[in-house]
Chain A
Amino acid sequence: AQSVTQPDIHITVSEGASLELRCNYSYGATPYLFWYVQSPGQGLQLLLKYFSGDTLVQGIKGFEAEFKRSQSSFNLRKPSVHWSDAAEYFCAVGGSGTYKYIFGTGTRLKVLA
């Protein structure tokens, strides 16, 4: 079965601390992987994506993610969190030629001043 697992429902970090959000996927073909951020009541903003090539991808707002095929993971990282990063983060998987994305359940990030 195809699925995305985000094991952490809530994460709280202090401003300036590093952040890692976990994402594991199960997908029957070569995965295309995405991280989106959603502020309350807002739509989705794409942070970064992985289609192929370098397994460490850089995104917007200082985020990066590393694709590890052996672990079926695509964890999102940021070295220093800002208060404005507080939001809901979604990991999603799709595939070549398919734009139907499977989303994880999301991780809500809280940032302490």
Chain B
Amino acid sequence: GAVVSQHPSWVICKSGTSVKIECRSLDFQATTMFWYRQFPKQSLMLMATSNEGSKATYEQGVEKDKFLINHASLTLSTLTVTSAHPEDSSFYICSATSGDSNTEAFFGQGTRLTVV
């Protein structure tokens, strides 16, 4: 299957700072990428959908000014958590698709963010 890589795998940042998470499709062009958030022992909740070259579409209740998403190329989307606070600590997972209806979206390995 196709490979999606996230970087970093884990990050610790101080409260008030910003942190950027990268999601890369390594062997296919990802027309669309998705960002999910997973709180401890909970399910994955979709945060936003990003299409290459256009603004991301955020799910209801997700602050677009806090979670900045950029999808500048067909192989890279970034999620920047701005002015992070301890309640932003979570596991963030991206998925990517080439738009081929015969395949599923492919998930990255996730990024563990801890805000102290």
Contact = CB atoms under 8 A, between A and B. Distances in A.
Interface residues of B, number: 23
Nearest to A92: B44
Given A43-B93, A99-B32, A99-B97, A32 B43 contact: no
Interface string B18-50: 000000000000001010000001111110010
B60 interface: no
Contacts of A106: 42-43
A96 B101 contact: yes
B46 A100 contact: yes
Contacts, number: 51
Contact of A42 (B34, B45, B109): B109
Given A101-B105, A102-B46, 15 more contacts: A32-B104, A34-B104, A43-B108, A43-B110, A44-B93, A51-B102, A96-B101, A99-B34, A99-B95, A99-B97, A100-B46, A100-B49, A101-B95, A105-B43, A108-B41
Interface of B: 1, 6, 32, 34, 41-46, 49, 93, 95, 97, 101-102, 104-105, 107-110, 112
